[in-house]
Amino acid sequence: MKKIVRKVQVKNPMGLHTRPATAIVKLLQNTKCSVKFTYKKTTINAKSILSILILAAQKNSKITITAEGDDAVDTVEKLVEAFECEFGERA
Protein backbone atom coordinates (compact mmCIF):
# COMPACT_ATOMS: atom_id res chain seq x y z
CA MET A 1 0.00 0.00 0.00
CA LYS A 2 1.29 3.43 -0.94
CA LYS A 3 1.78 6.08 1.72
CA ILE A 4 2.30 9.70 0.66
CA VAL A 5 3.18 12.54 3.03
CA ARG A 6 3.24 16.20 1.95
CA LYS A 7 3.28 19.53 3.77
CA VAL A 8 1.01 22.36 2.60
CA GLN A 9 0.44 25.91 3.75
CA VAL A 10 -3.01 27.37 4.34
CA LYS A 11 -3.18 30.45 2.10
CA ASN A 12 -6.81 31.43 2.65
CA PRO A 13 -7.10 34.73 4.54
CA MET A 14 -9.75 33.17 6.83
CA GLY A 15 -7.84 29.90 7.33
CA LEU A 16 -9.57 26.53 6.99
CA HIS A 17 -13.14 27.66 7.55
CA THR A 18 -16.36 26.04 6.34
CA ARG A 19 -15.98 26.67 2.59
CA PRO A 20 -12.49 25.17 2.19
CA ALA A 21 -13.44 22.33 4.56
CA THR A 22 -16.45 21.55 2.35
CA ALA A 23 -14.23 21.66 -0.76
CA ILE A 24 -11.77 19.23 0.84
CA VAL A 25 -14.50 16.75 1.81
CA LYS A 26 -16.05 16.95 -1.69
CA LEU A 27 -12.65 16.37 -3.27
CA LEU A 28 -12.10 13.32 -1.05
CA GLN A 29 -15.56 11.74 -1.15
CA ASN A 30 -14.81 9.35 -4.06
CA THR A 31 -11.26 8.48 -3.05
CA LYS A 32 -10.33 5.00 -1.87
CA CYS A 33 -7.37 6.03 0.27
CA SER A 34 -7.45 7.22 3.86
CA VAL A 35 -6.42 10.87 4.25
CA LYS A 36 -5.30 12.49 7.48
CA PHE A 37 -4.28 16.08 8.23
CA THR A 38 -1.86 16.84 11.04
CA TYR A 39 -1.65 20.36 12.46
CA LYS A 40 0.35 21.10 15.60
CA LYS A 41 -0.13 17.87 17.57
CA THR A 42 -3.60 17.02 16.27
CA THR A 43 -4.25 14.45 13.54
CA ILE A 44 -7.73 14.20 12.02
CA ASN A 45 -9.63 12.35 9.29
CA ALA A 46 -9.65 14.80 6.36
CA LYS A 47 -12.93 13.34 5.05
CA SER A 48 -14.82 14.89 8.00
CA ILE A 49 -15.87 18.56 7.82
CA LEU A 50 -16.17 18.81 11.61
CA SER A 51 -12.70 17.38 12.13
CA ILE A 52 -11.20 19.88 9.67
CA LEU A 53 -12.96 22.76 11.45
CA ILE A 54 -11.75 21.50 14.84
CA LEU A 55 -8.15 21.95 13.62
CA ALA A 56 -8.84 25.71 13.47
CA ALA A 57 -5.88 26.18 11.10
CA GLN A 58 -5.29 29.89 10.44
CA LYS A 59 -3.72 31.55 7.40
CA ASN A 60 -0.06 30.48 6.93
CA SER A 61 -0.54 27.35 9.07
CA LYS A 62 1.48 24.35 7.92
CA ILE A 63 -0.52 21.14 7.59
CA THR A 64 0.89 17.68 6.94
CA ILE A 65 -1.22 15.55 4.60
CA THR A 66 -0.83 11.78 4.95
CA ALA A 67 -2.63 9.57 2.44
CA GLU A 68 -2.55 5.78 2.38
CA GLY A 69 -4.08 3.60 -0.32
CA ASP A 70 -4.22 2.85 -4.03
CA ASP A 71 -5.07 6.39 -5.18
CA ALA A 72 -2.93 8.21 -2.59
CA VAL A 73 -0.62 9.85 -5.15
CA ASP A 74 -3.47 11.37 -7.21
CA THR A 75 -5.41 12.36 -4.11
CA VAL A 76 -2.47 14.22 -2.54
CA GLU A 77 -1.72 16.01 -5.84
CA LYS A 78 -5.34 17.23 -6.02
CA LEU A 79 -5.24 18.38 -2.39
CA VAL A 80 -1.94 20.24 -2.83
CA GLU A 81 -3.39 21.97 -5.92
CA ALA A 82 -6.55 22.90 -3.97
CA PHE A 83 -4.49 24.42 -1.13
CA GLU A 84 -2.36 26.34 -3.69
CA CYS A 85 -5.47 27.76 -5.36
CA GLU A 86 -7.02 28.69 -2.00
CA PHE A 87 -9.96 26.38 -2.81
CA GLY A 88 -11.17 28.79 -5.47
CA GLU A 89 -11.40 31.72 -3.05
CA ARG A 90 -8.55 33.74 -4.53
CA ALA A 91 -9.84 37.14 -5.64
Catalytic annotation, residues: 17
67, 3 Cβ separation under 8 angstroms? yes
- Among 23, 48, 26, smallest CA distance to 37 is for 48
In three-state secondary structure terms, 84 is helix
- The full DSSP string for 25-45 is HHHHTT--SEEEEEETTEEEE
